[in-house]
Amino acid sequence: MFWDSQRQAFLFADGQPWPRAEQVRALRQLAELTTRTLTEVLQLHKAGKITVTEAERLGINILRLYYNINSALAWGGWAQTPTSTWGRNGALLRNEYRYWRQFVAESSSLSAEQSAARAALYAGRAYARFFDEERRRLSQSGVLSPSWERWSALGDAVTCADCLALAALAWVPFGTLPTVPGAGATRCLGACRCEIIYAYTVEAPDESELERST
């Protein structure tokens, strides 16, 4: 698979694009992997198998890794990712590291289920990095920029009243949506697994179609 800068898309060796639905599925799988990994770190600490310092360091490394992976995917790979993206990630992660350290300190009083639910919020912030950076890339792509965007709460996404309200807006001009899934601005916070989809038509797409960007 490689990134085609002219088409602004990942292509397989045969020239076919990586379908958007598969991309989002991979992002959700990464979010679940992040959740499980962070939860396992907390459980190891709770069981006395690793120290506080080790738990903090492991969590920090995991968060940094997945923030950067999701951001790089949005730009078409590490080589295409602008340095400003790493700066934004660093600024966001400073707060996340502080919250993670507090989470580790409180982990001994939490059940495995409570730890997993809270870890999912951290994973969601990493999930959000793809959609935020993708919108930045698309806004800079000139004639390839989409005309419309839509918040999609379909499929296996976790939804809340805020997500449903955003989805009810249907197709809106590109750049209109006030946030991205997982960023924490909706009631489900980082547990959100919705997505944003795009259309490139002059008129808003028919409601019977949910056109996805490639």
Which tens digits make up the pLDDT trace of 132-173? 999 999 998 776 789 999 999 865 556 789 999 999 999 999
**Residue showing tokens 């602008």:** 82
Query: What pLDDT is recorded for position 211?
Result: 44
Buried b (16+ CB within 10 A) or exposed e, 2-12: eeeeeebbbee
pLDDT above 80: residue 210: no
Q: How many CB atoms lie within 10 A of CB 57?
A: 13
User: What pLDDT score was predicted for residue 213?
Assistant: 41
| Separation between Cα atoms, residue 213 and residue 30, nearest integer Å | 20
d(CA 208, CA 213): 16
Distance CA 67, CA 52 (A): 23
29-74 pLDDT, tens digit per residue, is: 999 999 999 999 999 999 999 999 999 999 999 999 999 999 999 9
Residue from 213, 83, 69 nearest 129 by CA: 69
